[in-house]
Chain A
Amino acid sequence: DTEVTQTPKHLVMGMTNKKSLKCEQHMGHRAMYWYKQKAKKPPELMFVYSYEKLSINESVPSRFSPECPNSSLLNLHLHALQPEDSALYLCASSPQEGGEKLFFGSGTQLSVL
């Protein structure tokens, strides 16, 4: 299994809602990542988890809250988002942090109304 699975594929939420994005991999990778991608732009790193501990937070606003319950799962909790947060949110994993092979999921297309 060389897949990174993300759910849901699409999400529409209001600015007062709370929602969560989920990511799962069963490749035994010990590093997991959240990226944000705006249309026609490259992915931007948000968070890195290494061995289930938060390793990097790229100055992301606190309305985004990551969680790594175990080595296979990664969540991104969303609260009080702004319309400018609408984007494709990508999860990725690699064998180790900074590892050469980044495997991306298909992403969650988020729209904030």
Chain B
Amino acid sequence: GENVEQHPSTLSVQEGDSAVIKCTYSDSASNYFPWYKQELGKGPQLIIDIRSNVGEKKDQRIAVTLNKTAKHFSLHITETQPEDSAVYFCAARYTGNQFYFGTGTSLTVIP
């Protein structure tokens, strides 16, 4: 079945540095890859997404890159701020039109 691997599971960066989280998927038919941010006591919130016909997408300080051949996609956060501290989940939409989530990355931005 579909599997989404996510690394690292925890990540600490100094404020102002960049953070990168990577995910690998197994279903070559997956065509949509969202990233969610979950703060403590809240539900996941969609922060950026990418479709399989695009290689990169950027929205201010966050960007996502997709390598279809290698079946991996990455989240890049630049100029990190303390409010970026949260758990981040990648996801892949598979052929049943539902989503598999990665295992999550707990990001801590140290002021």
Alpha-carbon separation in the docked complex, A101 to B32 (Å): 10
Q: Are B101 and A42 in contact (CB under 8 A)?
A: yes
Query: For chain A, what secondary structure do more than half of its interface residues adopt (helix, strand, loop), or is it mixed?
Result: loop
Closest to A58 in B: B98
Q: Does A7 contact B (CB under 8 A)?
A: no
For B43, the chain A residues whose CB sits under 8 A away are 4, 90, 92, 104-107
For B106, the chain A residues whose CB sits under 8 A away are 40
Closest to B31 in A: A100
The tally of residues in A whose CB lies under 8 Å from a CB in B reads 20
For A104, the chain B residues whose CB sits under 8 A away are 36, 43-45
Partner of B101, one of A40, A43, A98, A106: A43
Q: Are A42 and B49 in contact (CB under 8 A)?
A: no
Q: Does A80 contact B (CB under 8 A)?
A: no
For B41, the chain A residues whose CB sits under 8 A away are 106
A-B contacts, CB under 8 A, total: 46
Closest to A44 in B: B101
User: Which chain A residues (69-107) contact chain B, with CB distance < 8 Å?
Assistant: 90, 92, 97-98, 100-107
Q: Does A56 contact B (CB under 8 A)?
A: yes
Alpha-carbon separation in the docked complex, A100 to B44 (Å): 14
Q: Are A42 and B103 in contact (CB under 8 A)?
A: yes
Q: Are B93 and A100 in contact (CB under 8 A)?
A: yes
Q: Does A45 contact B (CB under 8 A)?
A: yes
User: Which chain B residues (89-109) contact chain A, with CB distance < 8 Å?
Assistant: 89, 93, 96-99, 101-104, 106
Q: B54-92 vs A: 1/0 string, CB under 8 Å?
A: 000000000000000000000000000000000101000
18 contacts between A and B (CB under 8 A): A40-B106, A41-B103, A42-B102, A42-B104, A45-B99, A98-B98, A100-B34, A100-B93, A101-B46, A102-B34, A102-B44, A102-B46, A102-B99, A103-B46, A104-B43, A104-B44, A106-B43, A107-B43
Closest 9 A/B residue pairs (Cβ): A98-B97, A104-B43, A42-B101, A104-B44, A106-B43, A106-B42, A90-B43, A107-B43, A105-B43
Give 4 new A-B contacts, CB below 8 A, not counting A42-B102, A102-B34.
A40-B104, A42-B101, A98-B98, A107-B42
